[in-house]
Structure 1
Amino acid sequence: MTRIAFYPAKPLSQLGQPLDVIRHFTPNWFAATMGTGILSLLLGQFAALRAVGEALWLLNIALFVLFSLLYGARWLLFFDEARRVFGHSTVSMFFGTIPMGLATLINGAMLYGLPRWGDGLLPLIEGLWWLDVAMALVCGVAIPFMMFTRQEHSIDQMTAVWLLPVVAAEVAAASGGQLAPHLADTAAQFHVLITSYVLWAFSVPVAFSILAILILRMALHKLPHENMAASSWLALGPIGTGALGLLLLGSDAPAIFAANGLESVGAMAEGIGLVAGIILWGFGLWWMLLAVLITLRYLRSGIPFNLGWWGFTFPLGVYATATLKLAAVLHLGFFTVMGEALVACLALLWLLIMGRTLRGAWRGELFVSPCIAGLCKRTEG
């Protein structure tokens, strides 16, 4: 006999149980570590703001550990409810935010941790990076497989959150581009570099195929519901990260390939990385301007706050990082000014969204799991 059970939607403040925070905790929260992490990395590029960036990195470590404990506790204490996330067509996509949030911590460890605690931290950083790679690969395959076999989707309900599980791999690739030069062993550098190129290819073509479908979806069915307003910015993520990854890997390539007897390949990879990075940056500029117009359209009727607002931050942050990287390579003032302006916008957005998040968490309004709130179903034989 089959029984289908639905759970009523109630804000946490009405549930009244100490364990309700754990019971309602979802992967969406890790998007906050992505936004906080990318801002900390950007601030670290400015000498006057480096201390603020390091403080944000330490805060982000605390957030990531807290969220990991809460989500791990949910699987231990409410396993039957937690596993239903794989059948949810939106929340399951946010598993990709976990490895991407971890990547910002790894990059922060290279930017802030190594100068403070020395090269003894490198084995831990390298180990965490390989863990991040494994998590990104699993997300990039397992979640699409669930989409094909267990979840219900339709083109008119599609949003850019489809990108989240597949983009994690290219974020790991960009992180690998920062890790490789720190490694002393040339063989280890080569392994990280080649793995990072594979991760880039594992992610970017899939992400761009999703973007093509997304453009068609918006042309045919117009904009998503205002609850998904921030998703219009998510498309900027794979574009910006794709450009940044090629720029970072290209800058690593000459020395690492030369050390492994492939000097001509390294020079070619550097040139391809720069040209392709500029091209992707231009594509990102188009999408960013479109996202601004879409957001202004949403603002006419109001955008209700939810954890999806963190989708404004990380894509803008990686695009700003790619912009500043182009400024450093090309020595063009335009990229410097634009990069600094994007960082300023990101900082203001972070202050707004973090303030709303803290208020929503305190009131319990943000702790609502769709699989308990009547949007997922349980089937038992």
Structure 2
Amino acid sequence: MTTETFSPTRSRDIDGLIPIIRHFTPNWFAATMGTGILALDLNQLPIAIDGLHAVARSLWLGNIVLFALFSLMYGARWILFPREAARVFGHPTMSMFFGTIPMGLATIINGFVVFGIPLWGPAAIEIATVLWWIDVAMALVIGLGVPFLMITRQDHAIERMTAIWLLPVVAAEVAAASGAGLLPHLADPHISLAIDMICYALWAYSVPTALGIIVILLLRLVVHNLPHHDMAPSSWLTLGPIGTGALGLLLLGADAPRVFASAGLGSLADAAQGIGLIGGVVLWGYGAWWLAFAVLATLRYLRLGMRFNLGWWGFTFPIGVYTASTYALAAQLHLALFEVSAEALTVCLMLFWMIVASLTVSGAVSRRLFVAPCLVNGSIPCDARRGS
């Protein structure tokens, strides 16, 4: 994997708003994923700290502003520089980050359920439901469209593979977990059942493919060693589909008694609960292996030297969703193992976010983080075609 994808550009090349828009790329949305999941996990922290809920809510509100700003900037790039923006479809790395857009939106949707109801009442659920359908549409298109581009238009090889291949695929299961969070607040039993079934389908649309990619990734790591140190945060990305997959099963299982009973399918509730709980524990245990591996890999990268880039947001969302699944297990099993683990993981997530957010702000102010790889000489080709 060449490293120009995340390499900073020189600040003198980015002077003024228009050049920033020209170089604005979808990997910026990873910041909304990390910020949103921190807000949601902080809100679940059982430690009694004055103002903690207010801090979490402020992070969520700020994340809405951030997502709106990034959407405007990326939309402006497609309007002002459509031909240059379209080159992303041929880029084997940057195109993966399309998946960060619906996943960043999903954290905002979850926040409407957690923070929005006390602020705006039932209107928050109505907004969240509309946004969820938009999120589902994006996740479905990206989850199939980007892999199809990988097959037909881009140039890939196993030795250049990293865990960022997971980003477009995982968006659908994130939407599934978000939909499960909506279910307890929906009054219409028919709509609840429809969304519940859609969530199970979204889970299946994503998780098996993601687990298959992870298996191949392990083979690639064994045969070709760790990726370049600029891709160090990618070691954490495997926690994303594993943690979200566990969270989706747990939430859907918890919703099952009400959803199935109201639809006359109460006999299925126990099975759904059992699948959710056992499946969640199994995936959580699988994630523990990858968490330990990510820690060891990062320690090795630290010895080699790690240069900051936007990919460092990969340190946040994956551990965040794994933490959320740990909270869900703690709530259902009431075991100290999961309760203590969730608290410790939240503290780690908060530290990661503080470091990455401060470096991102610094890089944005200096403008060195605004770089579109297709516009940089010597970067990965954006117009490569797979040979027929």
- TM interval, short-chain normalised: over 0.9
- Gapped regions of structure 1 (runs ≥ 5): 1-8
Amino acid at match of 2:205: F
- Encode CA deviations 1:82-114: one digit per residue, 9 max, x unaligned: 000000000000000000000000000110011
| 2:76 counterpart of 1:73 | yes
Q: Which moved more, 1:44-53 or 1:96-105?
A: 44-53
| 2:259 counterpart of 1:260 | no
| 2:92 counterpart of 1:92 | no
Corresponding position of 1:4: none
Counterpart mapping for 1:167-316 below 5 A = 167-316=170-319
Q: Report if aligned partners of 1:99, 1:135 keep a CA contact under 8 Å in 2.
A: yes
What SS does structure 2 have at the residue aligned with 1:228?
helix
Normalising by structure 2, what TM-score? Answer: 0.94
| 2:354 counterpart of 1:343 | no
Aligned structure 1 segments of 4 or more residues deviating by more than 4 angstroms: none
Q: What is the CA RMSD across the aligned residues, in angstroms?
A: 1.3
* 1:158–1:50 distance in 2 versus 1, CA, 3 Å: same
Q: Report if aligned partners of 1:13, 1:363 keep a CA contact under 8 Å in 2.
A: no
Amino acid at match of 1:231: S
Structure 2 distance, partners of 1:90, 1:144, is: 12
* 1:21–1:330 distance in 2 versus 1, CA, 3 Å: same
Structure 1 distance, partners of 2:109, 2:282, is: 27
Structure 1 distance, partners of 2:230, 2:10, is: 17
Corresponding position of 2:40: 41
2:151 pairs with 143, 148, 151, which one? 148
Corresponding position of 1:5: none
- Encode CA deviations 1:271-318: one digit per residue, 9 max, x unaligned: 110001000000000110011000000000111100000001000001
Structure 1 distance, partners of 2:144, 2:13, is: 38
Corresponding position of 1:6: none
Q: Report if aligned partners of 2:244, 2:321 keep a CA contact under 8 Å in 1.
A: yes
Corresponding position of 1:166: 169
- Gapped regions of structure 2 (runs ≥ 5): 1-7
Q: Which moved more, 1:115-124 or 1:223-232?
A: 115-124
Structure 2 distance, partners of 1:378, 1:315, is: 31
Q: Report if aligned partners of 1:236, 1:284 keep a CA contact under 8 Å in 2.
A: yes
- Encode CA deviations 1:253-286: one digit per residue, 9 max, x unaligned: 1111111111111110011100010000000001
Structure 2 distance, partners of 1:10, 1:134, is: 34
Corresponding position of 2:117: 114
Normalising by structure 1, what TM-score? Answer: 0.96
Aligned-pair CA distance for 1:123: 1.8
* 1:332–1:367 distance in 2 versus 1, CA, 3 Å: same
Structure 2 distance, partners of 1:377, 1:51, is: 44
Percentage identity across paired residues of the two chains? 59
Aligned-pair CA distance for 1:378: 5.3
Q: Report if aligned partners of 1:12, 1:21 keep a CA contact under 8 Å in 2.
A: no
Corresponding position of 2:20: 21
Structure 2 distance, partners of 1:333, 1:362, is: 43
Aligned-pair CA distance for 1:121: 2.4
